[in-house]
A = this chain, B = another copy of it.
Amino acid sequence: MKLEKITEQEKAGPKRRYDDACAVAHGMDLIGDRWAFLVMRELMLGPKRFSDIREGLAGISANVLTQRLEGLEESGIIRRRRLPPPVSAQVYELTPWGQESAMVMRVLARWAARSPGHDPSLPFSAVSLALSLRTMFEPARAGDMTARIVFETEQETLVATLAAGALKVVRGETGEADVTVAGPPRAVAAAIYGGVPAADLIATGELKVAGDMAVLSRFVTLFPLPDKVESGG
């Protein structure tokens, strides 16, 4: 009976979209489905496999992730690629246009960071840490500082390279560094955004630091958060 492959859903896919030519509405059609934008976030540092995406998205279920990946691929935001034989795995990656959504993410994050309802005590992943560094970096504060800092978390290793007033944050690459910081992303965030002295975090065992502490001490001052909105709104 499976010969009759009924493809009803193909012909009438009345997905719930906004019926609006406005580019804002179309933008929300693209990224507004639940989890969609966070799936894109997970891919911002490079290609990932299904399971790795899922690991970074606490709470998403497999079927929803499948749907979102299909939708994002259909929209041209991501593509799936099969890695060459040595590792026979499939990965998802942003298309060039998909990568340009980084600007949307950045502006949204800077706006949302000012929200009275933003709760920094919630879970925080390595990918989020990397993106937040890119987002909150203030070149003016860096001056001519040069540094290479490695962040080792349970999930990922991040390398931040500061040179010529620009900051690059990528994942993976190991290599020599001025400082190596090991610990959960939350603890790193506490040092950078929470104003908690690195020494305290080391003392409590939350962070382990090897290398030039002075570089780290200065580095953590380069990421000022935008001001919160006053209670009046």
Kindly list chain B residues whose C-beta atoms are within 8 Å of the C-beta of A98: 233
A76-B229, A112-B30 as given contacts; A24 in contact with B58, CB under 8 Å: no
C-beta contact mask, A220-232 vs B, less than 8 Å → 1, else 0?
0000000001000
Chain A contact residue count (CB 8 A cutoff): 61
| B75–A119 CB distance below 8 A | no
Assembly CA distance A110 to B79 (angstroms): 21
Cβ of A88 under 8 Å from chain B: no
When the two chains form the complex, which single residue of B16, B24, B108 contacts A41, counting CB atoms closer than 8 Å? B24
Q: Which of A20-61 contact B (CB under 8 A)?
A: 20-32, 34, 37-38, 41, 58-59
| A76–B233 CB distance below 8 A | yes
Chain B residue nearest to A120 (CB atoms) is: B21
A191 to chain B, nearest CB (A): 15
When the two chains form the complex, which single residue of B23, B113, B233 contacts A95, counting CB atoms closer than 8 Å? B233
| A116–B76 CB distance below 8 A | yes
Kindly list chain B residues whose C-beta atoms are within 8 Å of the C-beta of A100: 111, 114
When the two chains form the complex, which single residue of B21, B34, B112, B186 contacts A128, counting CB atoms closer than 8 Å? B21
Besides the known contacts A21-B189, A25-B41, A104-B108, 9 further A-B residue pairs in the complex with CB atoms under 8 A apart: A21-B118, A21-B119, A23-B110, A24-B38, A27-B108, A32-B34, A76-B116, A95-B229, A97-B115
Instruction: Pull 27 A–B residue pairs with CB atoms less than 8 Å apart, ordered by A.
Output: A19-B122, A19-B123, A20-B38, A20-B58, A20-B128, A21-B118, A21-B121, A21-B128, A21-B186, A22-B38, A22-B109, A22-B131, A22-B132, A23-B135, A24-B105, A24-B109, A28-B37, A30-B115, A32-B34, A75-B115, A75-B116, A76-B117, A95-B233, A97-B229, A100-B114, A104-B108, A107-B107
